[in-house]
Amino acid sequence: MRLLITGGAGFIGSALIRYLIKNTKNTILNIDKLTYAGNLESLLSISSHKRYQFQKIDICDQTALEAAFSSFKPDAVMHLAAESHVDRSLTGPAAFIETNIVGTYTLLEVSRKYWEKLPSQQQDSFRFHHISTDEVFGDLANTTDLFVETTPYAPSSPYSASKASSDHLVRAWRRSYGLPTVISNCSNNYGPYQFPEKLIPLMITNALKGKPLPVYGAGDQIRDWLYVNDHAKALYAVLTKGSVGETYNIGGHNEMRNIDVVTMICDLLGEKMDGQDFRKLITFVTDRAGHDLRYAIDASKIERELGWTPDVTFKEGLEQTIQWYLDHPQWWERIFNGRYLETNNAIT
């Protein structure tokens, strides 16, 4: 297949592309605006591959998108481009509205017009796969329930509200125009190449620099953690085996309190760093506004219908992630000093 992937320079997008190039025969067009979180250094291992190409495009730019569709002629779209950091959405929600809502609308319209001109057989096989988040479902505080595909939406932050809006747009384009769409909602991802503003890479890199490890409130927030390589495999399963019009929840079966994640990072790092006590760096800070207490996904549908289950346990994945950050200081140090932007600018 010829796959047009938006947001492929981001954390999950780059993991997906590396997986596809290594494990499939598909041809990839990576479209990315290259905001601060887009890092083409995460794709250097496959950047010269004959089945990979990159174009710097904002998904709100209809003209540029139409040109890309016309020249590349995709068989499917995998839409990952999004503003995704909750803290940033609280201080600057406009970018989330623009990219996650307006950008998704623009991509849907370009995809629909392209799809409508395809021969009938290609129309039947075309897919628009929208990658979303479990945060659209809101908070599972004070309950043992799990998010299922039919859980009502109740987003708490500008980020999750914008992603909920994009999910609704995708479903509307399926219902109104017949565009063959599929949606997946995933739990918190972690793994190599994650931008170090997110919890796990922030704790690892701060610890290695001897800086405080900031934990919101008492650290009682519970998340279901999913190793990013497992997520990439799940996304490909949804694209190739999922049913049109369906939604699939993707989770790691790893519910953990944030404070337990942080202490586990400290202890695993300590084992690798001559018994250093990293727990002394833990610093409790004022909780953020509207902070959901618990997310947890029921991933039984994707297991039952598509045969996907996560391969990596949380401890295994965390050990691999910590070792990766220890082995690749040049990657994350170039983010902190801004030098990674030189690679972005040089390639584009």
- Write the CB contacts of 169 (distance below 8 Å, at least 6 apart in sequence): 101, 104, 105, 108
Which tokens sit at 229? 């390589």
58 is catalytic: no
CB crowding 311-345: b at 16 or more within 10 Å, else e: ebebeebbbebbebbeeeeebbebbeeeebbebbe
Closest-CA residue to 176 (of 94, 247, 105): 105
Catalytic-residue membership of 105: no
Residues sharing a CB contact under 8 Å with residue 292, sequence separation 6 or more, in sequence order: 135, 138, 139, 140, 141, 156, 221
190 is known as an active-site residue: no
Which of 32, 58, 83, 135 is an active site residue?
A: 135
Cβ-defined contacts of 239-244 (< 8 Å, 24+): 239/3, 239/76, 239/78, 239/127, 239/129, 239/182, 241/305, 241/306, 241/307, 242/129, 242/182, 242/184, 242/305, 242/306, 243/182, 243/305, 244/127, 244/174, 244/180, 244/181, 244/182
The C-alpha torsion from 52 through 246 and 142 to 315, rounded to 10°, is -40
- Residue tagged active-site, from 32, 83, 134, 230: 134
188 Cβ contact list (under 8 Å, min separation 6): 199, 223, 224, 225, 226, 295
- Annotated catalytic residue, options 159, 193, 236, 295: 159
Angle (deg, nearest 10), helices 314-327 and 199-208: 50
Whole-angstrom distance, CA of residue 153 vs CA of residue 328: 39
* Angle of the 329-336 helix axis to the 199-208 helix axis, nearest 10: 100
Active site residues: 134-135, 159
